[in-house]
Chain A
Amino acid sequence: MASSTYEPKNRFIKAVNQQLPILSLIHGAVGAGYRAPKNLNYWWNFGSLAGVCLVVQIITGIVLAMHYTPHTSMAFSSVEHIMRDVNYGWLLRYVHANGASMFFIVVYVHIFRGLFFGSYRSPREMLWFLGLVIYLLMMATGFMGYVLPWGQMSFWGATVITNLFSAIPMVGDSIVAWLWGGFSVDNPTLNRFYSLHYLLPFVIVGVVILHIWALHIPGSNNPLGIDVKGPQDQVPFHPYYTAKDAFGIGVFFLVFAFFVFYAPNYLGHPDNYTEANPMVTPPHIVPEWYYLPFYAILRAIPDKLGGVIAMFAAILILFAMPWLDGSPARSARFRPIYRMLLWVFVADTFLLGYIGANAPDDVLHLGGVEIPFLILGRVATAFYFLFFLVIVPVVSRWETPLPLPKSINEAVLKKSAAKA
């Protein structure tokens, strides 16, 4: 993106850009200098939406940090101070808390889009890996952020999750004590989580820059999954995708604002409005909704270490997608059998999320049939791994894709001719 064709007319701007070609950089990254496939659909809006989410979280977070106190005896009341006594503090906090959920929704859609249209395939493996690194950093950041209000779910969620590391043989207990900075989740834990919760978003910004950089080497994938053959297949990013992204941001903000203003606590847990109390364990400890599928996988394995390994493997296995998928076609559009199984996989992750929200000893009543959540969780977990380890490698190599269009341009022209 360095070789930009940007030619400023104003002499002053030209002089500045000559010594610091930042305008050329922007022009080449998200301006008219970056040419993207002309057939990108609305699934492609979620990358820019994720960027918007990150910016919203950083801005609201920095202001919240000006009013928050990271101490076990004051954290909870400092959050209530923000809610009651800081001008528009309630707005900042609700935007930040719901913004985290919105960020994860957007990123999950973004990851799904990559899976569906084969955006992880060569030559975009590095782009995919960097995206997964961002996702892992988001998981860590979101977890530590949820601890900061120091409510009951903050404290007990932190206790459960940090205790997972005690499953590591030999050194597990030492690692947990090191993470806590003591012998239980306490003030040192809260302090370091606050410090890291402030740091990691900027690490995410760094990896996002790498992610965009890696995107610009091969350019965007597209719904057909075929390569760009020439300029006739593309449009300049600006104004075409800036306009489309602006519309997407408007729709997204409407959904976001609905939660912030009309259902601000819907995605949270009521227990977090009770101050943390190490002496009282809540009856059900549940993490934030975006971790629930992995929480269900953790609890589906009868062995602690096995559960922890399965949980991390469930995420890390995404790194193997470029090798697991051996289909001649990238996009699932031309792979009807794989596409159907991919939708079943999506349903399975939702099912896992639902299982994660319920206690394993509870029973699901389904039209007179009683299914224990534990059994359901095991079946859903088995399918999750079956999908990656068997279905993707076998179906992708065995299924013959439908004939691919010759070029993006041809497909677009055909589509607009059919409409006219």
Chain B
Amino acid sequence: MTMKKLIKTIGVALAFSAFASFGAQASEGGALKQVDWPFNGAFGQFDKAQLRRGFQVYREVCAACHSLHLIAFRNLADIGFSEDEIKAIAAEYEVQDGPNDDGDMFMRPGRPSDRIPGPFANEKQARAANNGAYPPDLSLMAKARFGGPDYIHSLLTGYEDAPEGFELGEGMNYNPVFAGAQIAMVSPLGDDMLEYADGTPATADQMSRDVSAFLMWTAEPSLEARKSLGFRVMLFLAIFTVLFYFINRKVWKPVKRGEQV
């Protein structure tokens, strides 16, 4: 290899490593489990049954502390709930409305157009109920951490006993996936703590995968539309580009032959 080539190669390698370092920055903690999600890859789409199971895990476990304030009941139609099912789910919640004609706020059953109400009225109430810790809203969590759904799954299944000599704060739990390895949330999932409506065995690992996939959907509901439109756009652009390549060659032919234009 000549000196010139060597320098060019080093330059290109550096360029790629610099570029790759943005996406590849791992979380603060240990390495993440790499899950082969059904929505990975250029043609990957959501597994609707998995998302519905994930919604069940959210409702029966996570929702005790975590809100999902960007999701309205009507959005559940995207993951395969019928209109009647959505109405029934919404009606299970009490939503504040008003003021009425007397000027008073009142509670009424939820409607499909309502956002899913969170467990706490505000941050202070959430902290008061959780030893001062604030359970974050989960709507965008799958895009708000390096690793996304891999991070959520790794965190939920990453609880361990603290190693010898590790100073654990009061009421904290050891989880090497979490930044700083101490997390206020206790390990939330255990085998068979709920019964899946579709009969899938509810292992902790299964529930963790399902709720992580569900949170990917809440964070990126347009994923399916994006990938299917993307394929058509890429195909169109590829044909367009090949055509322009040949047009360009044809246009330049006389000049390449040495003719004056």
Q: Which residues of A contact B (CB under 8 A)?
A: 38, 77, 80, 83-84, 90-91, 94, 231-232, 235-236, 239-240, 243-244, 246-247, 249-251, 253-254, 257-258, 260-267, 269-271, 273-274, 283, 289, 292, 340, 343-344, 346-347, 350-351, 353-354, 357-358, 412-413, 416-417
Beta-carbon nearest neighbor of B246 in chain A: A247
Indicate if the CB atoms of B238 and A254 lie closer than 8 Å.
yes
Q: Out of B25, B70, B226, B234, which one reaches A254, CB within 8 Å?
A: B234
A83 to B218, CA, bound (A): 11
Binds A, one of B11-19, B90-98, B161-169: B11-19
Instruction: Assess whether A347 is in contact with B238, with CB atoms less than 8 Å apart.
Output: no
Q: Is the CB of B21 within 8 A of A347?
A: no
Flag if A83 contacts B222 (CB, 8 Å).
Answer: yes
Using known A-B contacts A340-B3, A347-B10, A413-B258, determine if residue A250 contacts B146 with beta carbons closer than 8 Å.
no
With contacts A262-B42, A347-B10, A350-B18 taken as known, whether A251 is within 8 angstroms of B248 at the C-beta atoms is no
Q: How far is the CB of B147 from chain A (nearest CB, A)?
A: 9
Instruction: Contacts A257-B233, A350-B14 given; indicate if A246 touches B7 (C-beta within 8 A).
Output: no
**Contacts A83-B222, A266-B23, A347-B14 given; does A235 touch B234 at CB 8 Å:** no
Q: List 24 A-B contacts (CB under 8 A).
A: A80-B140, A83-B222, A90-B225, A90-B226, A240-B251, A240-B255, A243-B248, A243-B252, A244-B252, A246-B247, A247-B247, A247-B248, A254-B241, A261-B231, A263-B23, A273-B144, A274-B136, A289-B22, A340-B3, A340-B7, A350-B15, A357-B18, A358-B21, A412-B255
Q: Are A264 and B14 interface neighbours, CB within 8 A?
A: no
Within 8 A of A (CB), among B12-68: 14-15, 17-19, 21-23, 25, 28, 42
Instruction: Give B residues with C-beta under 8 Å from A.
Output: 3-4, 7-8, 10-11, 14-15, 17-19, 21-23, 25, 28, 42, 70, 75, 136, 139-140, 143-146, 148, 179, 219, 221-222, 225-227, 229-231, 233-234, 237-238, 240-241, 244-245, 247-248, 251-252, 255-258, 260-261
Known: A236-B261, A347-B7. A357 touches B21 (CB 8 A): yes
B21 touches A354 (CB 8 A): yes
With A261-B227, A343-B7, A344-B7 in contact, is A246–B261 under 8 Å at CB? no
Given contacts A250-B241, A253-B237, contact A354 B230 (CB under 8 A): no
In the docked arrangement, what's the CA distance between A239 and B230, Å? 31
| Contact indicator B7/A273 (Cβ below 8 Å) | no
* Chain B residue with the shortest CB-CB distance to A251: B241
B234 contacts which of A257, A273, A416 (Cβ < 8 Å)?
A257
Residues of A within 8 A of B146 (CB): 270
Which residues of A have CB within 8 Å of B233? 257, 261
User: A240 to B226, Cβ gap below 8 A?
Assistant: no
Q: Which residue on A lies nearest to B241, using beta carbons? A: A250
Q: What 11 additional pairs, Cβ within 8 angstroms, besides A90-B222, A263-B23?
A: A84-B221, A91-B229, A247-B245, A251-B241, A253-B237, A254-B237, A257-B230, A261-B229, A261-B233, A357-B18, A358-B21
For A80, the chain B residues whose CB sits under 8 A away are 70, 139-140
**A274 adjacent to B144 (CB under 8 Å):** yes
Also in contact, A354 and B241, with CB within 8 A (given A246-B247, A246-B248, A340-B4): no
Partner of B237, one of A257, A264, A270, A412: A257
Residues of A within 8 A of B4 (CB): 340, 343
Closest to B231 in A: A261
Closest chain-B Cβ to A191's Cβ sits at a distance in Å of 24
Docked complex Cα distance between A416 and B255 (Å): 9
Given A261-B226, A340-B4, A340-B7, A270 and B238 touching (CB < 8 A)?
A: no
Question: Are B14's CB and A270's CB within 8 A?
Answer: no
- Partner of A240 from the list B140, B252, B258 (CB cut-off 8 Å) is B252
CB atoms of B227 and A354 under 8 A apart: no
Which of B145, B240, B256, B257 is in CB contact (< 8 Å) with A270? Answer: B145
B23: chain A residues at CB < 8 Å are 263, 266
| Residues from chain B with Cβ under 8 Å of A243 in the complex | 244, 247-248, 251-252
B16 to A, closest residue via Cβ: A350
Bound-state CA distance A254–B236 (Å) is: 10
Whole-angstrom CA separation of A343 from B145 in the bound complex? 36
Q: Which residues of chain A are within 8 angstroms of B22 by Cβ–Cβ distance? A: 266-267, 269, 289, 357
Q: How far is the CA of A232 from the CA of B259 in the complex (A)?
A: 9
Residues in chain B near residue A262, CB distance under 8 A: 42, 227, 230
* Interface contact A273-B219, CB-CB below 8 Å: yes
Residues of A within 8 A of B25 (CB): 357
| Complex CA–CA separation, A371 to B160 (angstroms) | 33
**Chain B positions within 8 Å of A346 at CB level:** 11
